[in-house]
Amino acid sequence: MHNKNVGDKGENLATVYLEKLGYKILYRNWRFKFVEIDIIASKENVLHFIEVKTRTGAAFGRPEEAVTKKKMEQMKLGAEEFQYRNPQWKRVQFDVLAIRIFNDGNMEYWLNKDVYF
């Protein structure tokens, strides 16, 4: 599967998974300048900025290992702009959702909540 296809499939799976957990998806692929935030969602009056990483094999490591310091800094920049435009949110959280898609069609989800950087 091509990287873009894997990423798109992962974001679709992430949306369904998060909704099942009670998240309300507000935006997908929200953009500000050069920053893109995969998913912005809310749950229990907390605004969540969620980076989704998907892998179909182990060749490039676990999906969550692909979230770099630079990516997190970009998310923070995007989150600051989003909050500037939407000041009603008082509590925010940064999360990483790692998805592994196996050859047999099974999937593994790992939601790393409230990551710090």
Q: Record the pTM.
A: 0.90
Within 10 A of 21 (CB to CB), how many other CB atoms are there?
11
**Residue 36: closest CA among 60, 64, 8, 1:** 8
Out of 5-19, 33-47, 74-88, which region has the weakest mean confidence (pLDDT)?
5-19
Contact 72, 115 (CB under 8 A): yes
Q: Which fold has domain 3-112?
A: Trna Endonuclease; Chain: A, domain 1 (3.40.1350)
Over residues 51-78, mean pLDDT: 86
Q: Give the single-character DSSP code of 34.
A: T
In single-letter form, the type of residue at position 40 comes to I
- 8-22: per-residue pLDDT in tens? 788 999 999 999 999
Q: At a CB cut-off of 8 Å and minimum separation 6, what does 23 contact?
A: 41, 42, 43, 48
- Give which of 100, 95, 103 is closest to 43, Cα–Cα: 95
Q: Structural domain boundaries of the chain? A: 3-112
Residue 1, pLDDT > 60, answer: no
